[in-house]
Amino acid sequence: MLLEARLQAASEPARNSALARHLLDALKQYDVNSVGFYWPLAGEFDARAAISIWLAASTQREASLPVVKERGVPLEFHAWTPDTPMKIGHHKITVPASGRVVIPELLFVPCVGFDAHGYRLGYGGGYYDRTLAAWPGAKKPITVGIAYEACRTPALRREAHDIPLDLIVTEAALYPHPAD
């Protein structure tokens, strides 16, 4: 049901334009220079145009895409620009061909669904959970979910390893993680 709602929402240009504006608002709010995002799959918001605008504003900025090195291990993030040569990686997802590893300060995470407590529903592979649990260094990245308003639910079932996102961006609003 959430996948269908997301697919429908993603097909509406006005929703995507609004979501792109809110994504740029989130980047302005956090004022970071290094961002990890994702290559869009069916129904996922395509952040490449917004990230390209953000990159063009400063030569100090860097974007990266996740790369699955093998199942069951944390993701690596490889440098990306609009001109980066790409190749097909695991799960038939497009990844940068360069292989230059980047440690992002902020991670945009795709959401199949999300709730009012800042939790997300993904595809169930656990890649982001594993990646955040094994993040290099003491400082974890800011986590920002990207979702459509149609995929908001009152509460999601959680597991012990689930971590709420710092912010969820939709075409309608920016939802900061509520203080518990």
Q: Is 126 annotated as a binding residue?
A: yes
* Alpha-carbon Rg for the chain in angstroms: 15
- Structure tokens of 77? 């993030």
Q: In 2-28, which positions are buried (b, 16+ CB within 10 angstroms) versus exposed (e)? A: beebbeebbeeeebbebbbebbbebbe
Q: Is 145 annotated as a binding residue?
A: no
Q: How many residues does the chain have?
A: 180
Q: Is 43 annotated as a binding residue?
A: no
Q: Scanning the structure block, which residue is given the tokens 């669904």?
A: 113
Q: Residue 114, class by beta-carbon neighbours within 10 Å (0-12 exposed, 13-18 middle, 19+ buried)?
A: buried
The span from the CA of 153 to the CA of 53, in Å, is 31
Return all residues near 82 (Cβ < 8 A) that are at least 6 apart: 48, 52, 55
Q: Is 125 annotated as a binding residue?
A: yes
Q: Is 128 annotated as a binding residue?
A: yes
Q: Is 15 annotated as a binding residue?
A: no
Q: Which residues define the annotated binding site for ATP?
A: 120-128
Q: Which residues define the annotated binding site?
A: 44, 120-128
Q: Which residues define the annotated binding site for substrate?
A: 44
